[in-house]
């Protein structure tokens, strides 16, 4: 049966709890243990699918089609363990389950209360698949003291009481602010945060303290004394050059050892860290730099394209170059010449997106890349824009567009080269959707197979003809334009297995121009970069004449 590690945060948000959890998962793996990471989020949205990327950052999609928090992306990138629907839950989902059961009469007329009904629902969620792994790491979103978070904290308290002694561990992340004027690292906020935690019945076993510099012995002892943890369980988390240095840094600080000690696992299996040492070496010693433009809509918040930025970094690691990302707001050149904004980049990436805003700019970016032979990677909407560009400017379908924008505007302005998909095949099932469906969870979501054309660039990039990638979209390129577009040189080089849905397009007469209907960035890892990102950065490197 799994041992459970609960990760909570205090003092301020955005301390890197997700990263610390992911890095700890990687370290436990390096010692031969199997792990699964989970996120419990206090917000009331049922899932992040309908939350604005401006506010919440990217929506991370799992193979089994769940729209989850971006922290699950970190978990996957660090551990390589594919996240599942059952690895992410919000208060909204928990309450919605409880209310559904109440309506069904499952509670036999009882009064429904936070304790025990909501907390039981949370505990049931935590327990899913507990026999499958050695360690289950559960991160609680938000900060201790938040009103919404209370049922989660109460649930993990009860949970640890129900398990045999020594099977649960609490790790708490806090901030040690540095006061420049007095040259001191302050421990008081951490003391308060732990006090808050203890007032609700939780005593941390390990304290992870974010700080700008190292924690002097004196402060370490003070924290241990006032927060009731062992001095060696006070772990410093200093700012790092790259997130991928976190596993080695935490190992150096003794985090994995402290965890094994707390569980009394002895002798501790030796860690095998060569995977992370290799990644660190590639980060430290790049042989050059390439400049990539991401032409998107949500460019003010980098988290909106988190996985893409990470996958580009991985592509850089594979090619031993640093990838410098510049965010270009597509809307700026909706109505003007894009060239002045796009010159000077070694490659252009147009990411996924929703809605019409900025799409004329994205179409221009695809045109610029095609005409100037700049490497181009179009992801989801970025692929659809490349197809519309080809239809308008090469195939002569001057009014080509996407039904998505007509729906939005409530009029018919475009020839729907990209149309609203209402029926498709998933495994042995037919999935149906209507235009009037709810916005949440109505897309083609999760892993689908694609078949690649022999001899195409993508087949070479993947080194395979059958692939599986994750999707998240409502609209689809219409197969009926295929012959016309292929005759112009835009090859449909990847299709759904039934041959109905275009998955990949590429320009034949171009050094590297690929559009994909899926999200390859979700499956890339630093130690196993995704082939499309590896190939794309390689093309950027060639374009920058580094090769
Ligand atoms: N808005 C487009 C669609 O729904 C693209 C979605 C995306 O880029 N993820 O098909």
Structure tokens at 535: 């190939």
Among 77, 202, 79, 218, smallest CA distance to 145 is for: 202
> What pLDDT score was predicted for residue 302?
73
> What pLDDT score was predicted for residue 53?
67
Alpha helix (H) residue ranges in 6-63:
17-30, 53-56
Among 243, 365, 380, smallest CA distance to 313 is for: 243
274-284 and 17-30 are packed helices; what angle lies between their axes, rounded to 10 degrees? 130
Per the DSSP assignment, residues forming a β-bridge with 528 are 525
List of E strands, 58-177: 60-61, 67-68, 88-90, 135-140, 168-175
Please indicate whether residue 227, judged by its CB atom, sits closer than 6 Å to ligand 1.
no
Coil/strand/helix, residue 70? coil
Please indicate whether residue 282, judged by its CB atom, sits closer than 6 Å to ligand 1.
no
Strands 429-432 and 490-495, bridge-based pairing: unpaired
As a whole number of angstroms, the distance between CA 107 and CA 98 comes to 9
CA 379 to centroid of ligand 1, rounded, Å: 9
Structure tokens at 165: 């002694």
Coil/strand/helix, residue 317? helix
CA distances from 412 to 80, 144, 252, 481 (A): 45, 51, 61, 19
Q: Is 521 a catalytic residue?
A: yes
CA contacts within 13 A on the Cβ side of 398: 0
CA 513 to centroid of ligand 1, rounded, Å: 19
Structure tokens at 437: 């469906």
pTM for the complete prediction?
0.92
> What pLDDT score was predicted for residue 270?
94
> What pLDDT score was predicted for residue 205?
97
CA 232 to centroid of ligand 1, rounded, Å: 48
Q: Helices (H) and strands (E) in the chain — how many of each? A: 19, 25
As a whole number of angstroms, the distance between CA 372 and CA 485 comes to 20
Q: Are 254 and 235 in contact (CB under 8 A)?
A: yes
User: Mutation test of ligand 1: which of 418, 472, 502, 521 has the most ligand atoms closer than 8 Å to its C-beta?
Assistant: 472
Which atom of ligand 1 lies nearest, measured to the CA of 352? Answer: 8
Structure tokens at 25: 């998962």
pLDDT digits (tens, 9 = 90+) for 295-336: 988 666 778 899 999 999 999 999 999 999 999 999 988 888
Q: Quote the Cα angle for 281-283-287, to 5°.
A: 90
As a whole number of angstroms, the distance between CA 375 and CA 355 comes to 25
> What pLDDT score was predicted for residue 160?
97
Residue whose token pair is 């390859």: 520
Per-residue pLDDT of the chain (547 residues; tens, 9 = 90+): 899 999 999 988 878 899 999 999 999 999 999 999 999 999 998 877 777 767 778 889 999 999 988 899 999 999 999 999 999 999 999 999 999 999 999 999 899 999 999 999 999 999 999 999 999 999 999 999 899 999 999 999 999 999 999 999 999 999 999 988 988 899 999 999 999 999 999 999 999 999 988 899 999 999 999 999 999 999 999 989 899 999 999 999 999 999 999 999 989 899 999 999 999 999 999 999 999 999 988 666 778 899 999 999 999 999 999 999 999 999 988 888 999 999 999 999 999 999 889 999 999 999 999 999 999 999 999 999 999 999 999 999 999 999 998 887 778 888 899 988 877 777 767 777 765 555 555 788 999 999 999 999 999 999 999 999 999 999 999 999 999 999 999 999 999 999 999 999 999 999 999 999 999 999 999 999 999 999 999 999 998 876 5
As a whole number of angstroms, the distance between CA 273 and CA 285 comes to 18
Catalytic residue among 380, 403, 473, 476: 380
CA-nearest residue, atom 8 of ligand 1: 352
What are the backbone dihedrals phi and psi of residue 188, each rounded to the nearest 5 degrees, phi first? Answer: -60, -45
Helix (H) or strand (E) holding 186: none
Catalytic residue among 154, 403, 476, 521: 521
Residue 542 marked ligand-binding: no
Catalytic residue among 251, 314, 471, 519: 519
- The CATH number of 286-543 is 3.40.50.880
Please indicate whether residue 380, judged by its CB atom, sits closer than 6 Å to ligand 1.
yes
Coil/strand/helix, residue 470? strand
Q: Is 503 a catalytic residue?
A: no
Which three-class secondary structure string do you get for 201-246? CCCCCEEEEEECCCCCHHHHHHHHHHHCCCHHHEEEEECCCCHHHH
> What pLDDT score was predicted for residue 127?
96
> What pLDDT score was predicted for residue 396?
94
CA distances from 103 to 96, 108, 113, 243 (A): 10, 10, 14, 45
> What pLDDT score was predicted for residue 434?
65
Residues sharing a CB contact under 8 Å with residue 275, sequence separation 6 or more, in sequence order: 30, 527
246-253 and 17-30 are packed helices; what angle lies between their axes, rounded to 10 degrees? 80
Q: Are 137 and 74 in contact (CB under 8 A)?
A: no
What are the backbone dihedrals phi and psi of residue 36, each rounded to the nearest 5 degrees, phi first? Answer: -140, 140
Which atom of ligand 1 lies nearest, measured to the CA of 382? Answer: 8
Residue 352 marked ligand-binding: no
Question: Could you say which of 3.10.310.30, 1.10.3090.10, 3.40.50.300, 3.40.50.620 is the CATH number of the domain covering 3-279?
Answer: 3.40.50.300
Q: Evaluate whether 3-279 and 286-543 have a shared fold.
A: yes
| Domain extents in the chain | 3-279, 286-543
Please indicate whether residue 381, judged by its CB atom, sits closer than 6 Å to ligand 1.
yes
Q: Compute and round to an integer the Cα radius of gyration of the chain.
A: 25
> What pLDDT score was predicted for residue 11?
83
Please indicate whether residue 518, judged by its CB atom, sits closer than 6 Å to ligand 1.
no
DSSP string, 140-174: EPS-TT-TTTHHHHHHHHHHHHHSPTTSEEEEEEE
As a whole number of angstroms, the distance between CA 207 and CA 517 comes to 43
Q: Are 296 and 359 in contact (CB under 8 A)?
A: no
Residue whose token pair is 């309506």: 103
CA-nearest residue, atom 6 of ligand 1: 473
């Amino acid at each position: 049966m799994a041992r459970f590690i609960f990760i909570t945060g205090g003092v301020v948000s955005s301390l890197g709890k997700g990263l610390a959890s992911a890095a700890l998962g990687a370290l436990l793996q390096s010692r031969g243990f199997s792990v699964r990471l989970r996120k419990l989020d206090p917000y009331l949205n049922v899932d992040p699918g309908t939350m604005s990327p401006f506010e919440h950052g990217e929506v991370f999609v799992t193979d089994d089609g769940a729209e989850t928090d971006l922290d699950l992306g970190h978990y996957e990138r660090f551990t390589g363990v594919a996240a599942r629907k059952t690895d992410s839950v919000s208060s909204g989902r928990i309450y919605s389950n409880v209310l559904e059961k109440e309506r069904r009469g499952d509670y036999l007329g009882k009064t429904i209360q936070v304790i025990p009904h909501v907390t039981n629902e949370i505990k049931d969620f935590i327990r899913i698949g507990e026999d499958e792994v050695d360690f289950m790491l559960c991160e609680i979103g938000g900060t201790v003291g938040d009103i919404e978070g209370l049922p989660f904290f109460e649930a993990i308290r009860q949970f640890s009481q129900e398990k045999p002694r020594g099977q649960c561990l609490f790790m708490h992340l806090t901030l040690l602010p540095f006061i420049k004027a007095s040259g001191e690292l302050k421990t008081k906020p951490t003391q308060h945060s732990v006090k808050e935690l203890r007032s609700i019945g939780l005593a941390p076993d390990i304290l992870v303290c974010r700080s700008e510099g190292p924690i002097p012995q004196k402060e370490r002892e003070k924290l241990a004394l006032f927060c009731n943890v062992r001095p060696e369980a006070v772990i410093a988390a200093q700012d790092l050059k790259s997130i991928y240095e976190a596993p080695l840094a935490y190992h150096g600080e003794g985090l994995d050892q402290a965890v094994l000690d707390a569980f009394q696992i002895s002798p501790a299996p030796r860690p095998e860290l060569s995977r992370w040492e290799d990644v660190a070496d590639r980060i430290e010693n790049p042989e050059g730099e390439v400049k990539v433009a991401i032409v998107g809509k949500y460019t003010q918040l980098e988290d909106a394209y988190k996985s893409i930025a990470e996958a580009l970094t991985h592509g850089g690691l594979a090619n031993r170059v640093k990838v410098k990302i510049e965010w270009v707001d597509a809307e700026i050149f909706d109505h003007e010449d894009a060239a002045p904004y796009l010159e000077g980049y070694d490659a252009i990436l147009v990411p996924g997106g929703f809605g019409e805003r900025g799409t004329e700019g994205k179409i221009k970016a695809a045109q610029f890349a095609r005409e100037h032979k700049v490497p181009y990677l179009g992801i989801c909407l970025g692929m659809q824009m490349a197809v519309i560009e080809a239809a308008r400017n090469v195939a002569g379908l001057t009014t080509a567009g996407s039904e998505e924008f007509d729906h939005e505007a409530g009029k018919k302005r475009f020839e729907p080269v990209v149309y609203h998909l209402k029926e498709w095949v998933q495994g042995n099932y037919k999935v149906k959707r209507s235009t009037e469906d709810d916005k949440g969870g109505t897309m083609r979501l999760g892993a689908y197979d694609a078949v690649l054309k022999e001899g195409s660039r993508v087949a070479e990039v993947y080194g395979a003809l059958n692939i599986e990638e994750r999707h998240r979209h409502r609209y689809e390129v219409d197969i009926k334009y295929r012959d016309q577009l292929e005759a112009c040189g835009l090859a449909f080089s990847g299709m759904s297995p039934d041959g109905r849905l275009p998955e990949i397009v590429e320009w034949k007469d171009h050094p590297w121009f690929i559009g994909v209907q899926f999200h390859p960035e979700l499956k890339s890892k630093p130690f196993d970069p995704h082939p499309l990102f590896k190939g794309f950065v390689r093309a950027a490197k060639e374009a920058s004449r580094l090769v």
